[in-house]
């Protein structure tokens, strides 16, 4: 049976609201179509990538603005500071030519003991000065001088002399000494010394011995040659219980010691601890006026394990009495310069050809030995 809603009577008048409904629906569809909110036709669905937005930033530089013709130029940068003036270097002055020292020049010798000096008592007394003074002084072959000038201590230590050196070596002679000594609280008496000097004009042999009751306590021995400036030792030995030796290697300019002691530089005019006594007298005899009171004589003096520079101050002439008689003598003194040094005093008599008439050694502890001449006699010159 048809529904009453569908069975409409064609003659029945339609209600007015139905026409308005259809009109309204048509208007809505038209608007939807125009707005794109509803599909107007069939077809494939759009890709989802079409709904994706991809963005990127693009910076477009503005075009350079043209400078107006009347624009003022940009401010110029400040000029760099002016360069610092370069100070011109002074032109070096030519050094004046150094004239060679008058030959023979003293070789800043090193301190050493004299005939009565104990070689073990003084070791290294002036080693530092000897090396500093030796710098620049040629190693000697015996042709240099052993004497200094007549100036003060510093001038002598520098080895400068005024004029040529003259030496007058004494003839062969034997000197006998009486000795007084002090060792601690014990005085020593009955000790005698004998110095024997032999030379034939080209070679020499020098010995000094101390004896007590016919027993030799100690001896020193020096041998060498006689050169244009006096005594030139080649070998020195000192004997107590054993012998120690020093050799003068004048060709190599070195002094070499026994007992593995390092060698040292040998300077021109060097002496040993025994020959220095005779060499000082030879210098005084060769030119007495060159060594007035106040003069200083510097000699490199070699012991058994050192080669040092000792300086002797020349003092005024004085009268001295010894067992051999009265003499006028000049005293030469070597003063100690550091702890452990000995004081050495020599009295050289012009009447005996400037041979020593007295030799005194004083140690820092007060011990001393004093040799005073009791006799002297000439010996026939022979080949030592």
**Is 57 contained in some domain?**
no
Percent of the chain with pLDDT over 70: 58
Asked if residue 243 has pLDDT above 50, the reply is yes
- Residue bearing the bigger pLDDT, 177 or 378: 177
pLDDT of 289 higher than 90 = yes
Span 16-63, pLDDT tens digits: 656 677 777 777 676 665 555 444 444 445 544 444 444 444 444 455
Total number of domains constituting the chain: 1
Which one has a higher pLDDT value, 4 or 233? 233
Mean pLDDT is lowest, of 105-119, 195-209, 280-294, for: 105-119
- Match 């029945």 to its residue by tokens: 12
% helix / strand / coil in the chain, to the nearest 5? 15, 35, 50
Instruction: Please return the burial class of 1, using the count of CB atoms within 10 Å of its CB with bins 0-12, 13-18 and 19+.
Output: exposed
What is the rounded distance in angstroms from the CA atom of residue 371 to the CA atom of residue 359?
5
Arithmetic mean of pLDDT, 208-225: 90
d(CA 384, CA 223): 9
Q: 269 or 152: which carries more pLDDT confidence? A: 269
- Residue 324 is given by DSSP the state T
CA triplet 279, 272, 295: central angle to 5 degrees? 45
In the predicted model, is pLDDT for residue 101 greater than 90? no
Please compute the mean of the pLDDT values over residues 138-150 and round it to a whole number: 38
Establish if 53 belongs to a structural domain: no
pLDDT tens for each residue of 63-96: 555 554 444 444 555 666 666 665 656 555 555 5
Any idea what the CATH number is for the domain that residue 180 is in? 2.40.360
Decide if 202 is inside a domain.
yes
Q: Which residues contact 368 (CB under 8 A, 6 or more apart)?
A: 181, 182, 360, 361, 362
| Residue-wise pLDDT tens digits, 45-57 | 554 444 444 444 4
Tens digits of residue pLDDT in 338-381? 777 889 999 999 999 999 999 999 988 888 889 999 999 988 75
Going by pLDDT thresholds of 50, 70 and 90, the confidence category of residue 316 is very high
2 in any annotated domain: no
For range 327-340, the mean pLDDT: 89
**Does any domain span residue 30?**
no
In whole angstroms, give the CA distance from residue 293 to residue 331.
9
pLDDT at 330: 97
Strands (DSSP E) along 260-349, which ranges? 264-265, 271-272, 296-302, 307-322, 325-334, 343-349
Summary mean pLDDT of the chain: 73
What pLDDT score was predicted for residue 214?
A: 81
Tokens for 246, please give them. Answer: 């020093």
Residue 109 lies in a domain: no
**100-114, 220-234, 362-376, range with the lowest pLDDT:** 100-114
Least confident of 213-222, 308-317, 353-362: 213-222
Expressed as residue numbers, the domain containing 329 is: 127-378
CB 234 within 8 A of CB 141: no
Is there a domain that residue 276 lies in?
yes
The confidence score (pLDDT) of residue 378 equals: 84
Cβ neighbour number for residue 375 with a 10 Å cutoff: 13
> Is 12 a residue whose pLDDT tops 50?
yes
Q: How far apart are CA 155 and CA 139, in angstroms?
A: 20
Residue 305 lies in a domain: yes
User: How much is the pLDDT for 100?
Assistant: 44
């Amino acid at each position: 049976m048809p529904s009453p809603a569908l069975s409409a009577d064609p003659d029945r008048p339609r209600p007015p609201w139905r026409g308005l409904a259809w009109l309204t629906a048509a208007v809505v569809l038209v608007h939807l179509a125009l707005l794109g909110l509803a599909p107007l036709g069939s077809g494939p669905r759009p890709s989802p990538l079409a709904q994706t937005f991809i963005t990127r930033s693009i910076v477009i530089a503005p075009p350079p603005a043209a400078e107006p013709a009347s624009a003022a130029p940009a401010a110029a940068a400040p000029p760099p500071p002016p360069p610092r003036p370069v100070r011109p270097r002074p032109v070096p002055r030519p050094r004046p030519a150094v004239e060679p020292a008058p030959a023979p020049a003293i070789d800043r010798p090193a301190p050493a003991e004299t005939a009565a000096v104990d070689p073990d008592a003084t070791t290294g007394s002036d080693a530092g000065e000897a090396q500093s003074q030796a710098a620049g002084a040629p190693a000697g072959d015996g042709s240099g001088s052993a004497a200094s000038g007549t100036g003060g201590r510093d001038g002598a230590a520098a080895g400068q002399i005024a004029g040529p050196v003259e030496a007058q070596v004494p003839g062969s002679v034997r000197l006998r000494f009486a000795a007084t000594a002090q060792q601690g609280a014990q005085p020593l008496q009955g000790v005698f010394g004998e110095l024997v000097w032999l030379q034939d004009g080209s070679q020499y042999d020098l010995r000094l011995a101390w004896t007590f009751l016919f027993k030799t306590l100690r001896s020193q021995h020096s041998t060498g040659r006689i050169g244009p400036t006096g005594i030139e030792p080649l070998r020195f030995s000192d004997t107590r219980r054993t012998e120690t030796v020093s050799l003068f290697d004048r060709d190599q300019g070195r002094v070499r010691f026994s007992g593995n002691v390092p060698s040292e530089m040998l300077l021109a005019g060097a002496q040993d601890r025994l020959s220095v006594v005779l060499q000082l007298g030879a210098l005084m005899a060769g030119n007495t006026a060159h060594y007035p009171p106040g003069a200083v004589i510097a000699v490199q003096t070699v012991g058994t394990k050192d080669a040092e520079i000792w300086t002797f101050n020349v003092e005024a002439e004085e009268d001295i009495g010894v067992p051999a008689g009265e003499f006028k003598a000049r005293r030469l003194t070597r003063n100690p310069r550091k702890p452990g040094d000995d004081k050495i005093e020599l009295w050289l008599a012009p009447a005996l050809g400037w041979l020593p008439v007295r030799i005194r050694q004083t140690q820092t502890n007060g011990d001393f030995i004093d040799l005073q001449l009791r006799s002297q006699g000439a010996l026939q010159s022979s080949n030592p």
